[in-house]
Structure 1
Amino acid sequence: MRILWTLPYLPWPTTSGGKTREYHLLRNLAARGHRITLLVQSKVALDDATRAALEPWLERLIVLPRRPLRSARTLLAVAFATPPMLASVNGFAPDLQHTFEQLLAEDWDVIQIQHSYGFQPFERPLQKAHKPFVLAEHNIESALGAASYSLLPNWAGLFARYDRWRYRRWESRVLRQASELIAVSEDDARGLARLSAKTTAVVVNSVDCDYYAKVRPDRASQRLLFIGNYEYGPNVDAVEWALDEIMPHVWQLAPNVRFSIGGFALPEQWRERWTDPRIDWLGFVPDLRVLQNQTAIFFAPLRQGGGSKLKVLEAMAAGLPVVTTEQGASGLAVINGEHYLGSEYPAELARIIASSLNRPERLEQVGEAGRAYVRATHDWAVSARQLEAIYTRLSPAKETANYAYRT
């Protein structure tokens, strides 16, 4: 199939769960013979490394710059436009809209738009051309208000309430225009269906299982690990909750435990706020496997977010036992006590960590159960087949003809 795919960010390097998902889906679809044109509006310039990572999988890569956050157009749109703040930041882009209009003149089997917050430049061209499209969402964005708006100053509380209202209206408007909606978990699919009155398909988050197959965690290391993208509010909240309320309990029970915290956009002020020498501030880690080999537990104290968590799936694929919350295990068909260990309460999470570190055989049992679960149900090849099945439903006549030609 010929696929036109839009993104409001470059999917390389894979510094977040969203970028990781997009990169691997694109790569797997291309490997299955589909021809993809990727249209990106990016806040960072396209460099040689990113071009080299993406172009082998694409028929065309088109990257346009996103205007600065503090531009007059952005500030005016955030304050007064109908779309909410996030959609305004990524919207009102004449060059992007014009390029998209030109692409719509071509013959496409599937048009896939990623994220309701990136939709504004595409709305009018799609309506004018009467083109059906697929909309994929990684989260129900209007439900992430607590994560997004908690970063605003207290005096902006009234604006935050107004913007939540705008997002609910915008989200419903965008979702209802799509021919097909795609979520990453069954819970999110039900939520999107309620907002749109449309049946929503699921394409699960996954992992390159072979990449992590040879990792052997160090069950005796007394080391915890958390990895996240700190441009995403739920990851910021997870670290702050852990260091304020959970790790003090852990260190009372097990003073030798170390907590390694890595990921993209790690806030510099954290090093000054928490100076305990048992905290390792790692920053972005390009290859997690060496670090996973030195770790006993992946600790994901997530209270906010949606969908399923790629960081958790990657840890499970590496055989790392995961200690997390109900939110950390959301979207996964896993059982507390079998595939992961969890609680919602700081003192109980601390007790689970301290007691488990003294039972390496228990860590081995949980880690390998998680690894087996991910390999069976969350490999990227599974996700690509799910997405391909959705495309086939939308273009059955063309797919039948292509199949007849191939055979």
Structure 2
Amino acid sequence: MKLLMICATFPFPPSRGRTQVRTFNLLKQLSYYHEITLVTQKAEDVTEEEIEALKGWVKTLMLFPRPNNPESGIVEKVKRFCQFLITGTPPNVSFLYDQSIQNWVDQAVKNNDFDAITCEHSVNEIYIRPHWKEKIKTVINSHSSVYRTCQHQLDTATSENSQRDRLYLPLLKRYEKRVYQKFSHVVVTTDDDYQQLKEFKINSQVSVLPNGVDLGIFPERSSDPGGHHLILTGGMDYVTNIDAACFFSQEIFPLLRQKYPDAILTIVGANPTESVLKLGKNPGITVTGKVPSMAEYLHKATVCVIPLRSGFGIKNKTLEAMAAGVPIVASDRGLEGMKVDGDNTPLRALRANKIEEYVKGISNLFEDKKLRQTLSKNGRNYVENNYTWESIGRKYEKIITYPL
């Protein structure tokens, strides 16, 4: 088939994390059997080497300039809110919109150039016209619900701007209910997002397709290093990861240092903000920034902590740590969409949402090698059997190629 994939975020290299991981790996699996044209935008940090590498995975790469970040002044923020109120389109979607992309996609659909169109991440929905689904398969691969994320951040007091988000919340609900109706098929990453769409009474088909992991990039570690070494991973310019790093470093790690004076915490992830960099000044904490191999750092850690307090969807960082064979202590948000404990379920991770639960879970793993081995083995097996990009890519292909 001739497939058009639209992704405003340049999806290479996948080591950038977030949108890039899911988009590139699904694109990679589809490229083995279909002709792919990718429409994407080039940010300033995208290199020519990355562009050439991505071209190797697609038939045609349509590259457009990415707009500069919007101005942050109060007047501009008020304008964006008013525009959201009037148009029904969130600012993070409208600011990426490029009329030249729209013209190109319109002409391609008019010419019947493609058999199906996918929007990789919900922000790309803006280029799809509702009547197209009568003539061509249109799929939106929604990485997570923006409405649910906003609601949860308000509920847990983790919002960057609660006053703004309280205004945005009903608008986001209206937006998602409207947008998903445009598509032939909606893909979400968790059962919770699936239930949300059922509540919205979406008349499009909906499928759950989780994230995956590349087992070649994240091999299982050969030995347990022991000791008292913690690792926390993720893009450190993303609000949920920044909050998790600060929360753990300031509220939990000092308590662990009281019990284990030699305990160390390594925060690994690209583009750390100033607030994350400052954490590295605290005793026992190292902030690395971007590293050549995340797996190498995971293999050296005794325990991986995933103390997310907001954000939805299956987390790549959780899958990667499991694949690497590192025992995990994580919050409900860090474990969303995964079966890791409970009746008739092998123990695959320890769950913690309160400070004392983190201290207890980590202490148990520090002191119990057998428990570490159990989580390591069960986590790796779980990923191998359920979350490889090869198996997930085959399911995505079936969704896209199934007739209207």
Q: Distance in 2 between matches of 1:257 and 1:273?
A: 15
Name the CA shift for 1:152/1:342 in 2 (closer, same or farther; >3 Å).
closer
State yes or no: 1:291 paired with 2:297: yes
Find the counterpart in structure 1 of residue 90 from structure 2. Answer: 84
Q: Distance in 2 between matches of 1:42 and 1:141?
A: 24
Offset at 1:138?
A: 0.8
Offset at 1:275?
A: 2.1
Q: Distance in 2 between matches of 1:220 and 1:66?
A: 45
CA contact (8 A) 1:215 1:319 kept: yes
SS of residue in 2 equivalent to 1:87 = helix
Name the CA shift for 1:177/1:98 in 2 (closer, same or farther; >3 Å).
same
Unpaired segments of 5 or more residues in structure 2?
A: none
Name the CA shift for 1:46/1:376 in 2 (closer, same or farther; >3 Å).
same
The one-letter amino acid paired with 2:243 is D
Q: Distance in 1 between matches of 2:81 and 2:369?
A: 52
Superposition pairs of residues 181-260 of structure 1, within 5 angstroms: 181-198=186-203, 199-216=205-222, 218-260=224-266
State yes or no: 1:64 paired with 2:64: yes
Find the counterpart in structure 2 of residue 385 from structure 1. Answer: 394
Find the counterpart in structure 1 of residue 348 from structure 2. Answer: 339
CA contact (8 A) 2:158 2:310 kept: no
Superposition pairs of residues 277-288 of structure 1, within 5 angstroms: 277-288=283-294
RMSD value over aligned CA atoms? Answer: 2.5
Find the counterpart in structure 2 of residue 355 from structure 1. Answer: 364
Offset at 1:45?
A: 5.8
Q: Distance in 2 between matches of 1:120 and 1:391?
A: 19
Superposition pairs of residues 8-407 of structure 1, within 5 angstroms: 8-14=8-14, 15-31=16-32, 33-44=33-44, 46-70=46-70, 76-81=79-84, 82=87, 83-91=89-97, 93-104=98-109, 105-123=111-129, 127=132, 131-145=136-150, 147=153, 152=160, 157=163, 159-198=164-203, 199-216=205-222, 218-272=224-278, 275-335=281-341, 338-394=347-403
Offset at 1:289?
A: 2.1
Name the CA shift for 1:150/1:88 in 2 (closer, same or farther; >3 Å).
farther
Report sequence identity in percent: 25
Structure 1 residues 338-376: Cα deviation after superposition (integer angstroms, max 9, x where no partner):
100112111121121122112222211211110011001
CA contact (8 A) 2:23 2:120 kept: no
Aligned length: 389
Name the CA shift for 1:38/1:193 in 2 (closer, same or farther; >3 Å).
farther
Q: Distance in 1 between matches of 2:386 and 2:318?
A: 14
Q: Distance in 2 between matches of 1:147 and 1:285?
A: 29
Q: Distance in 2 between matches of 1:170 and 1:86?
A: 13
Structure 1 residues 141-187: Cα deviation after superposition (integer angstroms, max 9, x where no partner):
11222559956457xx1x33222222211111110111100011222
Structure 1 residues 279-328: Cα deviation after superposition (integer angstroms, max 9, x where no partner):
01011123112212211111101121111111000110011111111221
SS of residue in 2 equivalent to 1:39 = strand
The one-letter amino acid paired with 2:351 is G
The one-letter amino acid paired with 2:25 is H
CA contact (8 A) 1:147 1:233 kept: no
